């Protein structure tokens, strides 16, 4: 096996072909496991030989990193966490001893902004960047992107690797790229004007952004379905694209279909979890690109298909800054699904629906914000945004209040009759109780009360004192 694999840039399938790499995408699982093992053996040995970090990290490993014999042995290597990256990069700035190439071979520097701690830095070599482009082109092909499409990348162009990853994949595929960006004042109004003028066929951003774009368009007197030309949208960064009601809302608003994508910036090619043009919610795990294991959040042992756990990701063809068995902190369930596309990958059946840290425990019941979002979007009076307020009184259990916007017409009724909203509030309360299994308090707010976001929505307000 040639490692790292070389991919000729001249290759492109014919537009009527379903698969970019038919052999890799339809392998029988046992054959794929052998293929992945071959790549991981070389990836781990390479990292061990070239990185001071991995030499130290694997010192007490129960298996020989220079000679991994099976996927079960691979699963005995220690799990890498964000804390490992932070402390290593603090001690050996800026990349830590993850870097396996000379610093002058780094082609791109990306990172995370560090909103929850020290920023993390990724140095990406040119060959790795080309392989990221190839992987993303292949996955976007599965999502339905073709060279005659125009892709509007409506996400911020900065350290954030999401937008660049989308751009480089669409470029490699041969599509027309429209790197619009987001986040500057007034840019959403401009996005409405440009979408109506250029009529891109594909949009990349976050689900929150797509809904915000539609709201802004309507305020400007445009109809997102009639005046734009979006055929499909692919999203990352939020669970929304696999939240059934949010997904449906975006599809109906724009008259398009939606593809959910995304693992983590650290794991770029981050599209290795991605739906296809046939899958109705959820994401296939393109295992030969980035290998995903499902791990129990407490015991840290591997879980079989059908189980819910934390995805743990490994690069399989990274030479600059490889991440091996990286703990995502997300929660998802994996299984085999019979997708009409014919790919034989396991699937995160309902996408990534939360973070281990975001899981709210109300009276012993696990509740995810994405589940509440799904219920609210199914209510006729729902006004588009919500917040979850968590409180704890001394010695008491946690209390969850759902603050939900309702449409203006419902609020107008209240001016004439102060009790007019009560039946609506009762219906919201009953529906939430039925769906999540515990009672939560509901407060109704007028539509527009909460800030709209151009990036990832932050919907939990945690007022608990430790
Ligand atoms: Zn599929």
Q: What is the DSSP string of 175-215?
A: -EEE-----STTHHHHHHHHHHHH--SEEEE-HHHHHHHHH
Separation of CA 339 and ligand 1 centre (Å) = 5
Percent of residues in the chain assigned helix, strand, coil, to nearest 5: 35, 25, 40
Q: What is the pLDDT of residue 425?
A: 93
In this predicted structure, the answer to whether residue 465 has a pLDDT above a threshold of 90 is no
Please report which confidence band the pLDDT of residue 319 belongs to, taking 50, 70 and 90 as the band edges: very high
Q: Which of 263-267, 321-325, 411-415 has the lowest mean pLDDT?
A: 411-415
Separation of CA 241 and ligand 1 centre (Å) = 15
Q: Which residues surround ligand 1, an ion (CB under 5 A)?
A: 276, 278-279, 339, 341, 343
**What mean pLDDT do residues 172-185 have?**
96
Separation of CA 325 and ligand 1 centre (Å) = 25
Separation of CA 131 and ligand 1 centre (Å) = 22
Q: What is the pLDDT of residue 355?
A: 84
Separation of CA 276 and ligand 1 centre (Å) = 5
* % the chain with pLDDT above 70: 98
The tens digit of pLDDT for each residue in 199-249 reads 999 999 999 999 999 999 999 999 999 999 999 999 998 888 999 999 999
Regarding pTM above 0.85, the answer is: yes
Separation of CA 443 and ligand 1 centre (Å) = 40
In this predicted structure, the answer to whether residue 397 has a pLDDT above a threshold of 80 is no
Q: What is the pLDDT of residue 359?
A: 78
d(CA 106, CA 315): 17
Separation of CA 32 and ligand 1 centre (Å) = 17
Pairing relationship of beta strands 398-406 and 360-362 according to DSSP bridges: unpaired
Separation of CA 15 and ligand 1 centre (Å) = 17
Separation of CA 279 and ligand 1 centre (Å) = 5
Task: Identify the CA nearest to 233 among candidates 212, 266, 255.
Answer: 255
* Contact (Cβ atoms closer than 8 angstroms) between residue 288 and residue 32: yes
**What mean pLDDT do residues 376-405 have?**
87
The tens digit of pLDDT for each residue in 34-84 reads 999 999 999 999 999 999 999 999 999 999 999 999 999 999 999 999 999
Separation of CA 355 and ligand 1 centre (Å) = 25
Separation of CA 155 and ligand 1 centre (Å) = 25
Q: Which residues are bridge partners to 153 per DSSP?
A: 204
In this predicted structure, the answer to whether residue 114 has a pLDDT above a threshold of 70 is no
The tens digit of pLDDT for each residue in 117-126 reads 788 999 999 9
Separation of CA 277 and ligand 1 centre (Å) = 7
Domains of the chain: 1-356 (3.40.50.12780), 359-462 (3.30.300.30)
Q: What is the pLDDT of residue 464?
A: 80
Separation of CA 74 and ligand 1 centre (Å) = 27
Separation of CA 342 and ligand 1 centre (Å) = 6
Separation of CA 25 and ligand 1 centre (Å) = 10
d(CA 319, CA 99): 8
**What mean pLDDT do residues 349-369 have?**
83
**What mean pLDDT do residues 285-290 have?**
98
Separation of CA 275 and ligand 1 centre (Å) = 6
d(CA 251, CA 245): 10
Separation of CA 18 and ligand 1 centre (Å) = 10
What are the Cα distances from residue 198, in Å, to 148, 192, 201, 323?
A: 14, 10, 9, 39
Separation of CA 395 and ligand 1 centre (Å) = 49
Structure-token match 């339809």, residue found: 26
**What mean pLDDT do residues 429-441 have?**
90
Question: If you average pLDDT over every residue of the chain, what do you get?
Answer: 93
Separation of CA 177 and ligand 1 centre (Å) = 25
Separation of CA 223 and ligand 1 centre (Å) = 31
Task: Identify the CA nearest to 327 among candidates 350, 341, 309, 343.
Answer: 309
Separation of CA 340 and ligand 1 centre (Å) = 6
In this predicted structure, the answer to whether residue 466 has a pLDDT above a threshold of 70 is no
Pairing relationship of beta strands 106-112 and 120-125 according to DSSP bridges: antiparallel
Separation of CA 400 and ligand 1 centre (Å) = 37
Structure-token match 């734009």, residue found: 228
Q: Which of 38-52, 160-174, 273-287, 449-463 has the lowest mean pLDDT?
A: 449-463
Backbone angles phi, psi at 128, to 5 degrees: -65, -40
Q: What is the pLDDT of residue 420?
A: 84
Q: What is the pLDDT of residue 462?
A: 84
Q: What is the pLDDT of residue 35?
A: 98
In this predicted structure, the answer to whether residue 292 has a pLDDT above a threshold of 70 is yes
Separation of CA 302 and ligand 1 centre (Å) = 24
Separation of CA 335 and ligand 1 centre (Å) = 13
Separation of CA 151 and ligand 1 centre (Å) = 21
Task: Identify the CA nearest to 401 among candidates 463, 456, 331.
Answer: 463
Alpha helices, H only, 226-291 = 244-254
Backbone angles phi, psi at 142, to 5 degrees: -65, -30
């Amino acid at each position: 096996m040639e490692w790292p694999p070389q991919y000729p840039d001249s290759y492109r399938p014919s537009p009527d072909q379903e698969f970019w790499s038919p052999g890799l995408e339809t392998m029988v699982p046992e054959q794929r496991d052998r293929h992945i093992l071959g790549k991981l053996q070389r990836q781990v040995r390479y990292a061990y030989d070239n990185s001071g970090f991995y030499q130290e990290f694997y010192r007490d490993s129960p298996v020989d990193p220079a000679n991994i014999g099976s996927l079960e042995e691979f699963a005995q290597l220690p799990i890498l966490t964000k804390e490992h990256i932070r402390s290593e990069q603090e001690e050996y700035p800026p990349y830590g001893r993850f870097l396996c190439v000379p610093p002058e071979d780094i082609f791109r520097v990306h990172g995370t902004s560090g909103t929850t701690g020290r920023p993390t830095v990724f140095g990406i070599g040119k060959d790795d960047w080309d392989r990221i482009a190839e992987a993303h082109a292949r996955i976007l092909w599965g999502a339905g992107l073709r060279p005659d499409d125009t892709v509007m990348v409506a996400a911020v162009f900065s350290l954030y690797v999401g937008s660049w990853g989308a751009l480089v994949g669409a470029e490699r595929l041969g599509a027309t790229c429209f790197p619009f960006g987001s986040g500057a004042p007034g840019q959403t109004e401009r996005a409405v004007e440009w979408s109506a003028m250029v009529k891109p066929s594909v949009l990349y951003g976050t689900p929150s952004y797509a809904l915000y774009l539609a709201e802004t368009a309507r305020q400007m007197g445009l109809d997102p379905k009639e005046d734009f030309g979006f055929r499909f949208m692919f999203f990352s960064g939020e669970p929304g694209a696999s939240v059934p009601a949010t997904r449906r809302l975006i599809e109906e608003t724009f008259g398009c279909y939606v593809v959910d994508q995304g693992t983590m910036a650290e794991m770029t090619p981050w599209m290795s979890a991605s739906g296809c043009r046939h899958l109705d919610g959820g994401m296939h795990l393109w295992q030969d690109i980035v290998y995903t294991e499902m791990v129990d959040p407490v015991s840290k042992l591997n879980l079989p298909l059908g189980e819910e756990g934390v995805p743990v990701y490994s690069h399989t063809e990274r030479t600059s800054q490889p991440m091996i068995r990286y703990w995502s902190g997300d929660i998802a369930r994996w299984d085999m699904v019979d997708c009409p596309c014919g790919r034989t990958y396991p699937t995160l059946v309902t996408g990534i629906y939360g973070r281990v840290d975001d899981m709210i425990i109300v009276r012993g019941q696990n509740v995810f914000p994405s589940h509440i979002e799904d219920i609210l979007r199914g209510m006729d009076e729902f006004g588009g945004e919500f917040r979850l307020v968590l409180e704890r009184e001394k010695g008491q259990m946690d209390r969850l209040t759902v603050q939900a916007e309702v449409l203006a017409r419902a609020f107008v009724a209240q001016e004439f009759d102060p009790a007019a909203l009560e039946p609506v509030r009762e219906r919201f309360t009953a529906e939430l109780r039925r769906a999540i299994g515990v009672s939560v308090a509901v407060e109704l707010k007028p539509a527009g009360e909460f800030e709209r976001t151009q990036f990832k929505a932050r919907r939990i307000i945690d007022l608990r004192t430790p």
